[in-house]
Amino acid sequence: MKRRRFVKTASALAIIPAVKSWSSSTPAKKAAGKEIYEWRFYTLKGEGDRLDAFYRDTFIPAFRRFGIKVGAFAPHQRGEKDMRYYLFIYPDMATYLQVKEGIWADTAFREKAQPFYEETAPAPLYENMETFLCEAFDKIPAHRVPGRERTLFEIRLYWSPNEEANRRKVAMFNKDEIAIFDKTGINSVCYGNILAGPRMPALIYLTWYKDVATRTEAWNQFGAHPDWQRIRGLPEYAHTATANKSILLSPLPYSEL
């Protein structure tokens, strides 16, 4: 029997293109295309004070050096399990990949973050971190900055029965639904078609309000709006979602949104 010849690992790795180097002093440039959103949902094991301090003092400042904005949120009403929600806004996918690698080459970040990582490895602060990588919708390719009066945000997740239905659900927002939001006081921040996440296919979006009362009024106006009544039964939008979830949030003091 002839001996098999194996390609050495080092040789195989040599042909893989390296990630482009990235200086932490170089802010991300705004791309002409659609933004990329990275959501992180943390299920905490206790209170969120230590994670808040890490994000506020170390993690977000490091991303800021790359020109990346980060929104930080907590549940509007706390339940049995406390949560933290973070939204990272990238100008494009290339920047997402560059920052993902570049953050670990940032000497200032590594020096400041290492004690946190060492202390929390044997005593984790959270049970799980779900991530959602998303591409912005055509209708709103770049996020909208919320007003200063915002005290309430809302995440909405929609799951579709298959990829084709998800495409039609995204089209529904692009063509009709976001425009109705604009008319009825549902204030858009960003919309993302989820490229990778824990449950697929799906989309996610974020809106903001002055308070609970204005949110209630806005959704009442939306439900009664003639444009919504016109499109809700259209055959092209039939069976586009099998489930949805609403999460009400309060911005944390260190949030950049």
Residues 163 and 132 in one domain: no
The string of DSSP letters for 6-58 reads ---HHHHHHTSPPPPP--TTSPPPPPSS--EEEEEEEEESS-SHHHHHHIIII
Low-confidence ranges of the chain (pLDDT < 70): 1-32, 79-81
pLDDT the model gives residue 79: 64
Query: For residue range 59-87, what is the model confidence (pLDDT) as tens digits?
Result: 999 999 999 999 999 999 876 569 999 99
Report the number of distinct structural domains present in the chain. Answer: 2
Co-location of 233 and 151 in the same domain: yes
Q: Which residues pair with 217 in a beta bridge?
A: none
Task: Judge whether 10 lies within some domain.
Answer: no
d(CA 42, CA 26): 29
Q: How far is CA 97 from the centre of its chain?
A: 15
Q: Are 154 and 209 in contact (CB under 8 A)?
A: yes
- In this prediction, residue 46 carries a pLDDT of 87
Q: Which domain holds residue 221?
A: 143-250
- Residue 51's Cβ-side half-sphere holds a number of Cα atoms within 13 Å equal to 24
Q: Of 115, 136, 157, at which residue does a domain stop?
A: 136
For residue 162, give Cα distances in angstroms to 129, 158, 199, 209.
25, 12, 11, 32
Confirm whether 173 is domain-assigned. yes
Q: Which of 76, 101, 136 is the last residue of a domain?
A: 136
Q: Are 52 and 88 in contact (CB under 8 A)?
A: no
Tell me how crowded residue 179 is: count the other CB atoms within 10 A of its CB: 13
In a domain? residue 22: no
pTM for the whole structure: 0.86
Q: Has residue 11 been placed in a domain?
A: no
pLDDT at 77: 87
Query: What is the reported pLDDT for 257?
Result: 97
Instruction: Output the six-digit token pair for 166.
Output: 């998800």
Q: Is residue 193 part of a domain?
A: yes
| CATH number, residue 128 | 3.30.70.100
